[in-house]
């Protein structure tokens, strides 16, 4: 079953951030803790890590997208797992 990767809370006064770059392509293998993407706010840049091991099944938003905290941004699971469209 695919595991959702969520845009993290980025600060008390920040409601989201911009996906600066994907560090892993769809279809690539990842381990728990591997950085998947970098996110920028007006004050900082950070990497979002995988919370599961498997394959990056889907990048929900492209680089450059502004995304609210708590939003699903990617799915990691086993090859062939279903992910929402």
pLDDT in tens, 14-35: 788 999 999 999 999 999 999 9
pLDDT of 26:
97
52: Cβ contacts below 8 Å, ≥ 6 apart: 3, 30, 32, 76, 77
- Tell me, what's the pLDDT at 9? 85
**pLDDT at 1 > cutoff 90:** no
Beta strands in the chain, from DSSP E residues, in sequence order: 3-6, 16-22, 29-30, 35-40, 45-49, 54-59, 66-68, 72-77
- Percent of the chain whose pLDDT exceeds 90: 78
What domains can be seen in the chain, in order of their start residue?
3-77 (2.40.50.100)
Mean pLDDT of 64-79: 96
pTM over 0.75: yes
Distances (CA, A) of 83 to 7, 14, 16, 41, 57: 17, 28, 23, 28, 8
Average pLDDT over residues 46-66: 96
């Amino acid at each position: 079953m695919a595991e959702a990767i969520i845009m993290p809370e980025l600060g008390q006064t920040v409601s989201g951030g911009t996906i600066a770059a994907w560090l892993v392509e769809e279809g690539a293998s990842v381990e728990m803790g591997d950085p998947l993407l970098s996110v920028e706010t007006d004050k900082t840049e950070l990497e979002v890590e995988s919370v599961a091991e498997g394959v990056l099944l889907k990048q929900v938003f492209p680089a450059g997208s502004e995304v609210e905290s708590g939003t699903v941004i990617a799915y990691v699971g086993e090859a062939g797992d279903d992910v929402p469209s």
